[in-house]
Structure 1
Amino acid sequence: MRSLAVSAALLLAGCASTPTEVATAPTPPPAEAAKPPVALQYLYGSPEAAVAVRATNARIADYGVWRIKQRPKDSVVLAAGATMEAPAFEPCGNKPFAAVFDADETLIWNLGPMRYFAEKGTPFDPKIWDQWEKTGAGKAVAMPGTVEMVNALRAAGVTVIANTNRSTANAKGSEDTLRAAGLGEFKHGETLFLMGDDAGGSSKDGRRAAIASRYCVIILGGDQLGDFSQQFNVRDLPAAQRMALATTAGATALWDKGWFLFPNPVYGPWEKLGRGDVFPSDKQWEPK
C-alpha cells in the first residue's frame, strides 16, 4: 500500500510540474485592424485607381511627344483676364517647352500623413502636414506610370516643372521628396514653384503666369481644378456654376488635350457639396 501511495504521490508531483499539463486560457485572435476610409482604399490600394492613373500618365507622355512637333502658337496657360467662356492663352513664341504639374496626388501619393490621419481618426492637420513636407522624403511614392511619363517628357526636350501649394519654407524637403520618389531633380525657383513664391497665396495663377513667361507650357496636370485656373476656386462659387465652368466649350477643348486631370476622391473643394448638389430633386426615386 505504501509503495502505491508513494507512486501516486510521485505521479501527482510529476503532473504538477509538467508545464504542458497546466491549463491555460486560449489566446484570443488578433483584433482586425480598422479599415481605412473607402476613398483611401480606392486611391492608394486599388488596381482600378492604379490603371486609371497609369493610363493618364501614358496619355500625357504621348501627347507631349506629339505636341512639340507641332510648335504650337499658344501655351495652355490662360492669359491674364481670360475666362473659360472667352479663353485666351499666353503666347509661346520661341520659348522652350515645359509641362507643369501639381505635386501632391499628381506626381506623388502622400502615403505617410494619409495613413496617420486615417489611423488616428483625425482631420487634416496643417502642423502634421508641415512636418511631412520637411521629413517625408522616402515615404511618398511616385504614382503609377509617373516616373516613365516624366522621363519620356524630359527625353523629348520638355522641362518638367512642379507648381504646388507646399510651402516655400519647406522647399528643400519637397525637393528631397520628389527626388526620393524617383522623379529626378526639382529646384526651387526654377523647376519647383511653391506657395509663398508670390503674393497670390494658394492661387497658382501668378506662378503659372511666371512659368509661362519663360516657357511654352504644352501640358498642365493636376488633381484639382485649381491646378488649371483659379476661376474654378472662386469663394462661394455655386456647385452648379463650377460644374458649368468645367464643362464649357473652352474647357472641354482642353481636357486630355493639354489639360490632364488625375483622379483624387480623398480631398478637394467638392467635399462641401450638399445632398441637393449631388442628387437633383427631379431625379428622386423611391422603391414601392
Structure 2
Amino acid sequence: MMRRTALLGACALLAGCATTPAPQAPPPPPMQHSNPPQFVSPPVPAGMQYLYGSAEASALTRGVWHDLVTYVAAKVKHRPADSVVLAQGATLSDPRYVSCGDKPFAAVFDADETVLLNYGFESWQAKGGKFSPEIWSQWERTGMADVEPTPGAVAALNQLRAMGVTVVFNTNRSAANAAYTEQALDHAGLGPAKHGDTLFLQGDDATGGHKDGRRATIAARYCVLAMGGDQLGDISDLFNAVSNVAQRRAAVATPAIDANWGAGWFLFPNPVYGPQIKGGMDDVFPRDKRWNPPAEEK
C-alpha cells in the first residue's frame, strides 16, 4: 500500500511537471545587415579639373587653334622672309630668325598637352600615382589608346595640311619609343607622324630635353610659319634659362618679342605640370597687393 501510494505520489508529481511549460529562451535579435563600405574617389586636383574637364579650357584651346590657323593662312598667301624660329645666337632682347627662302611651309608643335591630352596617365596621377621617368616611359609604350586630341586640334591640323603646310611634332617623348608615339598620334587622329621626318624626339641629338637643336634641324628644311606648345620651352630654350618667377613673366613681355604671341608663337593652357607650376607667396602675390577681411586685420 505504501509502495502504491508512493507510486501515485510520484505520478502526481510527474503530471504536475508535465503541465508546467519550460521557460522559453528569448528569440535572437534580427540580423543586422551592414552596408558594404563605399569607395570614395579621391578629389581630382583643380588643375586637372580645369584642363581635362572644363568647358572653359576647351573653349580657350579651340580659340588658340582658330587664331593659329587664321594666322598661318594669311602667311601662306604672303610668304614671309623669315620663319618664327629664332636663329642661332639670337636673344630675347635681340631676336633674329631663320630665313625662309623658298623652303616648304611647316608648323611645329609639341605633343603632350598641346595636341594630345594624356587622360590615361593623368587619371593615374589623380589617384595618387607618382611621376618618374620609368613610369612615363611605360606610359609612352602602353598608353597609345588612352589619349585624346586637344579640343580643336584635329580640325586645325587638317586645315593646315590642306593649305600645303607640313605638320611637324617636336616633343620630349623618347626616341626609343618613337613607334609608340607615332601610334598615339595616329590613334588621336593627329597623324601621320614619321620619326625623323615629321616627328622629332628627345634622343635625336645630344642636347637631351633641350629643343632648340631639333628646331634648328626643322627650320633648315622648312619655312616654319607657326609654333605651338604648352610651355615656353616649346618656343625657345632661351626661356628656360630664366628660372625666377617674376623674371619669366618679364621675359615674355620683352618688347622685341612681345608681338610674337598669337602671331607665330602660340601657347596652350596647362595648369597641371611643367616649369610654369611654381612660386611661393612672395613670388606670386606682390606684398603691396595682399588683403585680409577687416575683422582679421592685425
- TM value normalised by structure 2: 0.86
Identity %: 53
> 1:77 aligned to 79, 85, 91, which one?
85
The yes-or-no answer on 1:218 pairing with 2:218 is: no
Q: Which amino acid aligns with 1:72?
A: P
What is the Cα deviation at residue 26 of structure 1? 4.8
Aligned counterpart, 2:240: 233
> 1:45 aligned to 50, 53, 56, which one?
53
Q: Which amino acid aligns with 1:76?
A: V
What is the Cα deviation at residue 24 of structure 1? 4.6
Equivalent-residue separation in structure 2 for 1:61 and 1:233 (angstroms): 27
What is the Cα deviation at residue 287 of structure 1? 2.3
Structure-to-structure mapping, 1:188-267, within 5 angstroms: 188-234=195-241, 237-267=243-273
Equivalent-residue separation in structure 2 for 1:160 and 1:271 (angstroms): 28
The yes-or-no answer on 1:96 pairing with 2:87 is: no
Equivalent-residue separation in structure 1 for 2:256 and 2:174 (angstroms): 31
The yes-or-no answer on 1:152 pairing with 2:159 is: yes
> 1:286 aligned to 279, 284, 292, which one?
292
SS in structure 1 opposite 2:111?
Answer: coil
SS in structure 1 opposite 2:246?
Answer: helix
- Superposed CA deviations along residues 38-83 of structure 1, whole A, max 9, x for unmatched, are 1111100111111111111111112211211110000000000111
Equivalent-residue separation in structure 1 for 2:266 and 2:209 (angstroms): 20
> 1:270 aligned to 269, 276, 286, which one?
276
Aligned counterpart, 1:12: none
- Is the deviation greater in 30-39 or in 199-208? 30-39
Equivalent-residue separation in structure 2 for 1:122 and 1:131 (angstroms): 13
Q: Which runs of 5+ in 2 are unaligned?
A: 1-27
Aligned counterpart, 2:187: 180
Equivalent-residue separation in structure 2 for 1:131 and 1:216 (angstroms): 35
Structure-to-structure mapping, 1:117-132, within 5 angstroms: 117-119=125-127, 121-132=128-139
The yes-or-no answer on 1:106 pairing with 2:114 is: yes
Contact 2:231 2:276 in 1 (8 A): no
Q: Which amino acid aligns with 1:239?
A: V
SS in structure 1 opposite 2:194?
Answer: coil
SS in structure 2 opposite 1:209?
Answer: helix
Equivalent-residue separation in structure 1 for 2:39 and 2:121 (angstroms): 23
What is the Cα deviation at residue 251 of structure 1? 2.4
Aligned counterpart, 2:70: 62
What is the Cα deviation at residue 29 of structure 1? 7.1
Equivalent-residue separation in structure 1 for 2:286 and 2:129 (angstroms): 31
Contact 1:113 1:128 in 2 (8 A): no
Q: Which runs of 5+ in 1 are unaligned?
A: 1-15, 17-21
SS in structure 1 opposite 2:33?
Answer: coil
The yes-or-no answer on 1:134 pairing with 2:141 is: yes
Contact 2:72 2:225 in 1 (8 A): yes
- Superposed CA deviations along residues 234-261 of structure 1, whole A, max 9, x for unmatched, are 1x63222221111112221100000010
Equivalent-residue separation in structure 2 for 1:161 and 1:287 (angstroms): 51
What is the Cα deviation at residue 124 of structure 1? 1.5
Equivalent-residue separation in structure 1 for 2:275 and 2:289 (angstroms): 24
- Superposed CA deviations along residues 158-181 of structure 1, whole A, max 9, x for unmatched, are 000000000000000100000011
SS in structure 1 opposite 2:182?
Answer: helix
- TM value normalised by structure 1: 0.89
Aligned counterpart, 2:18: none
SS in structure 2 opposite 1:33?
Answer: coil
Contact 2:104 2:223 in 1 (8 A): yes
Structure-to-structure mapping, 1:18-29, within 5 angstroms: 23-28=31-36
Aligned counterpart, 2:123: 115
Equivalent pairs counted in the alignment come to 268
